[in-house]
Structure formats: C-alpha cells, structure tokens
Structure 1
Amino acid sequence: MSKSGPSLLFTHQLSNEVIFSLFEKAKLYKETQFHNIPDSYSGAVPLLLFFEPSTRTKVSFQMAMSRLGLKPIMIDVNEQSSVVKGETYLDTLKNIMAMKPDLLVVRYGEDKEITNYLEAQETPVINGGGGVSEHPTQALLDAFTIYEEYGQFQNRKILLIGDIVHSRVASSNIHLLTSLGAQVGLFSDEDLCKDYSSQKYMFETLAQALAWADVIMPLRPQKERFKQYGYSASSYAEKFCLRQEHLKMLRSDQIVMHPGPWNESVDIEEAVVNSENSRIFQQVENGVYVRAALIDSILSEKHK
C-alpha cells in the first residue's frame, strides 16, 4: 500500500501514485455507495484500539469497515480495558496484537515506545492519530475533498489558521499537500507555528491570508495549552476565529474546511460552517470513502 508495506503510520509513506489510486477507489465507493463490492477478504477481523478520545475518526473507520462487510472490534482503552487496573498502554497493545487481528487501527498520544513497537509489527496498522505529528487518514480525506473540488493540486493555495504547532492535522496536511504540488500558507502567531517559521507563505493579517487562499482551514485550539502561550478562548477567537463577517470577503470559488471538532465562535462560527463556501460536512462524508479505500487496499494486499 505504501512505500514500506501494508501499514500506514506516517504521511510520508504515501507516494503520489498510491494517493491517487486511493482517490480513484474512494470516488468509486462514493458514486456506487458501496453497491456490488467484491468480498475479497471474507472472515478478516479488524480491530480499533483508541487510547485517546475520538468521535469522528472512530465512527468513520467503523462505518467504512461495516460498508465493506467487515465486523470491527472496538476498544476504548480508558473505558473498557485493563489500563484501569494498572496495565500500561504498551502492554495492552502487545496483548491485543497477540490475538492476531487482520488489521489494527490505533490512536495514541505522543509515545515513541508505541510508535517503535508498531513499526516492527507484521500485522498491518493504520495510524488513527498519533501525538501532535501524525494523522495520515485525515490528511488523505482533506486532500480528496480538495481534489474533488478543483481536480488538481498544482499551485492550489491552502491556508491553515491558528494553532499549527500542536496540530497533528496541520503536520500531516502540510507534508501531504506540499508533496502533491499545493502551496500551504499559515496565519498564526510565532509561538503557535514555531516549527514552521520558515514556511514560505506567512501572513500578518487574516484579511491578507483570506485574499490569498483557495482553501481556508481554521484549526481547533489546544485549550489545555492556552495558559502556556498567554491565550484565553476569547483572545484566540479575536485573532483567529473565522466569522460570518469574513464570508463577505470570500470568492464563490473559495472553500472552507475544518478537520473537526470545532469550538463554536472560538475557531469558527456556525454561520461559516453552514455557508455555501463550506465543505466541512463533505469532508466528514468523504472520510468514510477514503478510509474504506485504504482498508480495502491493505486487506486486499494482505490476502493475496
């Protein structure tokens, strides 16, 4: 599936050839609504293991698996596991892998030990969000939504707004979209984008950034880090919130996206979410098709 085998742990594993192959399969699923999908991996058992809370990603994977005729096993570690009895996350992971699932989807925090363990496994693994640096399937579905809108990436201008440095979505999107030929611009503060201060397209005002962009993507702030960087919800919103008043500045061919979840009136207002420029719910829908395409590619390769 990727340059290094059937697992997808890192966005950089995806070649452009693989990305467009996944897009074609996702497009087929969307057009056919999964009708007449061949059963090429009957009896395969996928397992979802989430060490961190999730709604959209978790349900999207479950829906994708169900649409493919699979019956996923779901484990929310903090709700229903031996972790509450004192078991470490790594030991939980090792026990799960000993049961030989055909595919593991895992979400976890910033834990190099878990990453190293997953890299060494023969069982295919999909990263459902890892730490602050990786969310490859979110980047894929975002890119697919942009591709669906414009038909190509070359010189398309993608704007990320707000807390860049703590966002695994930003990290994965910057890498993937740049590799596809898009230009990625940032509107942020020095502390909130310090790892990307050399990014070519940086803007001093939101108005300037909006005028430049084709795709506008505000990001959810990490509220637990507000105090560390001298922010409150209100001060973050004052600078970075995409508001109804900004809609007047947008062209009809500009689109607004958001990886979710959003904080109402902190990073985006409801009027923008529901506007004609918005493709936010289209992203959510596309997540099912893109993840199904990825799952199918991995399991088809495994069951050759």
Structure 2
Amino acid sequence: MIAYRSSLRERELLGLKDLSASELDSILLRAAYWESHTEKRAPILEDRFIANMFFENSTRTRFSFEMAQKRLGTQVLNFAAAASSMEKGESIYDTVRTLESMGIDAGVIRLKPIGVLEELAKHVRVPLINAGDGNNEHPTQALLDVYTMRKQFGEIRGLTVSIIGDVKHSRVARSNLWALRTLGATVKFCAPDSMRAPELEAYAPYVTMEEALNADVVMMLRAQLERHGEGILKSKSEYRAQYGLTVDRAKTMKSHAIIMHPAPVNRDVEIDGDLVEAPNSKIFSQMSNGVPIRMAVVERALR
C-alpha cells in the first residue's frame, strides 16, 4: 500500500532528486497494484477535481495522465494554453491561481521555463505534479522507466544503465539519473560534446558509444537536432552513424540487455526503425507502464 501523506508538500511531485528510495519504492509498488487491477475503472476519486495544465505541447504524457485520472474516477479539466486567456497576456502564475481558486484539488503541469514550477508550488495550496519542467526534470517518465526496468530484471540495484543522446536538453536523463542512483544502479552517459551536461558528470561519467552499449539497459534519447546548428548535429545521417543505435551496434549488446526510449522516436536517426519493436525493445511497454505509474502518482496527490 502506498504511504499516503497529509502534508501538501509530501503529496506533490516536483522531481525525483530529493525522493528517498522508500518513497520511490512506494510509488512503484502502488503502480504494480494498479497494473494488476482487473477492472478498467476503479472510481475511488470521483469527488476530486484535477486540472491538466500543459503550457507546452505533449501527446504521450498528457493522454497517459488523462487515462490514469479517468481510471481513478477523477473529474478532469484539460487546459490548453492556445485556447486560454494566456493569449491575452495572462501569466502562468495567474492561470494556475485562477484554476486553484475555482476549486481544483491538484494540478498536473508542463512548462518550458526552468524554475517556474518550483516557485508556483510555493504559492498554491494544492499539490502539483510535474509533467515536464524545461530541461530540469520529468519525474513520471523516469518512474515509468524504472518500473519497466524492475519488471524486466526484478530489482534496480546492480544494474548498469547507459543513457545516450542529447543529455544537455533532456529532463528525462536527469530524472532517470536521480532515481536510478537512489535505487542503486550505475548510470553512464554517452553524447556528442555539444550535447553534454557538464554539471552531471560528477554523478555519471561520459563514455564512448562502444562502452555505453556494454550495459543492462541502453536508453536512447530523442536527437533534438532542431536545437543545434553546426557540425555533426546538422546531419541526421551523420548523427546516426556516430551516435545512433543501429542494427549492427545492437548486435554487440549483452544478450539480456534491453532497449528503451522515452519517445517520441526519430526512427533511423537515434535508433533504427527495425529495433523499435525488436524482441528486446521495451519502448511500447514503457508507454503502457505510464498509466499505472501515473495512477499511483495521482492517487498519492489526492488521497
């Protein structure tokens, strides 16, 4: 059973960096409960209202949260910045405070600016759940990734996980780093020089592509080529040649190793299309696991 918290700050989920192993484990265990739940809906939160506040585009995360919320019976309000008073100049803060004033019990929020979410949380009186915060954190994505690994290997402690690609701009890489280290895994990064986050090197070394493939989990990140304008990063074919998970490279992986990717996937750029649904790929399993993870996180926030 998940440990339900009475404190507002203990029910929100802004990131994983400061969560303990027991808190992470509690969420993972509750997700396993919801995954094993035979009925599609378990309306235990019918009297609760939750707002999905996406100030940045999203497909998988937004629909996964909405599916989780509706399975729990919550009353869901979906906010889209393009159809709101933000078009008239309203600030993110005023938008969130407006929804809070209308009586929501929790909010799921995705933002581009870094640091805004943490400031918002100081001023609102409902728990907030981070659905992607600039290139800072994406906690529920990392939770579903860790959940996928634990289902595959039984436990996280002792695993070696390589995260390959645009680490610099990746909130997924950061949240996975914090969660995996807390649970006892070894994390390695592999990235072109311009895609490295030097501040993370104290926690995970940057290694060659060859060494990165010698891992239990090979996690490819989306090649965010639109953020780069020079050299190798200007060419998809050259990026694939040097940092892509090709069919030939995949043959050098350990026999028990799995392939992961937070999606959206650029097929034949950071990963060959033939590998996306290969037997050792867990990419679509990750997406499926997002629903029970987010059920556990939403329940944690509202009970």
Normalised by the size of structure 1, how large is the TM-score? Answer: 0.91
Secondary structure, counterpart of 2:233 in structure 1: coil
Query: For residue 220 of structure 2, what is the aligned residue in structure 1?
Result: 218
Q: Cα deviation per residue 1:85-126 (whole Å; 9 max; x = unaligned)?
A: 222223222222221211100000124344302233220110
Mark the runs of 5 or more structure 2 residues left unpaired by the alignment: none
1:130 is aligned, of 118, 130, 133, to: 133
Give the C-alpha shift of residue 73 in structure 1.
1.0
**Per-residue deviation, 1:279:** 0.5
CA contact (8 A) 2:41 2:73 kept: no
4+ runs of 1 displaced by more than 6 Å? none
- The C-alpha deviation readout for 1:67-95, integer Å capped at 9, x for no partner, is 112231111212x1112222222322222
| Counterpart residue number, 2:20 | 15
Aligned ranges for residues 136-285 of structure 1 at < 5 Å? Answer: 136-193=139-196, 194-204=198-208, 206-211=209-214, 213-227=215-229, 231-232=233-234, 233-285=236-288
**SS of equivalent to 2:13:** coil
Q: Secondary structure at the match of 2:193?
A: coil
Q: Give the 5 Å matches for 1:77-88.
A: 77-78=81-82, 80-88=83-91
Q: CA deviation at 1:199?
A: 4.4
User: What SS does the aligned partner of 2:251 have?
Assistant: helix
Residue 299 of structure 1 aligns with which residue? 302
Cα distance in structure 1, aligned partners of 2:284 and 2:66: 18
Whole-Å separation in 2 of the counterparts to 1:203 and 1:274: 26
Distance 1:254 1:77 in 2: 41
Q: How many residues align?
A: 296
Tell me the SS of whatever aligns to 2:51. Answer: strand
Q: Could you tell me which of 35, 57, 66 is aligned with 1:30? A: 35
| One-letter amino acid of the structure 2 residue matched with residue 222 of structure 1 | Q
Q: RMSD in angstroms over aligned alpha carbons?
A: 2.0
1:21 positional shift = 1.5
Structure 1: which amino acid aligns with 2:59? Answer: T
Change (3 A) 1:224 1:295: same
SS in 1 for 2:195: coil
**1:76 aligned onto 2:48:** no
Q: Is 1:41 matched up with 2:45?
A: yes
Amino acid at match of 2:63: V
Match 2:67 to one of 60, 63, 68? 63
- Given the superposition, is the C-alpha separation of residues 197 and 270 from structure 1 closer, same or farther in structure 2, using an over 3 Å criterion? same
226-235 vs 80-89, greater mean Cα deviation: 226-235
Sequence identity percentage = 33
1:282 deviates by: 0.6
